[in-house]
Amino acid sequence: MPRPGSHKYDIKRSRIRDALDNAGFSDDKADKLVREVLRNPRGSTARLLPVVKKYLAVGKRTRG
């Protein structure tokens, strides 16, 4: 998991945030959920949010 403030962390955060925005979450709710998911990607929030779960599954694919 990337450390907060690193370039990888910022990229991952912005991608999840964009997915939540596209799914219709409010700004405050999206920020809260992104923080929670990045702290614990296998926690209850990730299981309950299909948008985030879908993003995390896509993010684990390898190129090729």
Tens place of pLDDT for every residue, the chain, 64 residues? 678 888 988 998 898 888 888 888 888 888 888 888 888 767 666 566 676 666 666 555 544 4
Domain extents for the chain? 7-58
Instruction: Summarize the chain as % helix, strand, coil (round to 5).
Output: 70, 0, 30
What is the torsion angle, in degrees rounded to the nearest 10, for the CA atoms of residue 4, residue 22, residue 30 and residue 50? -90
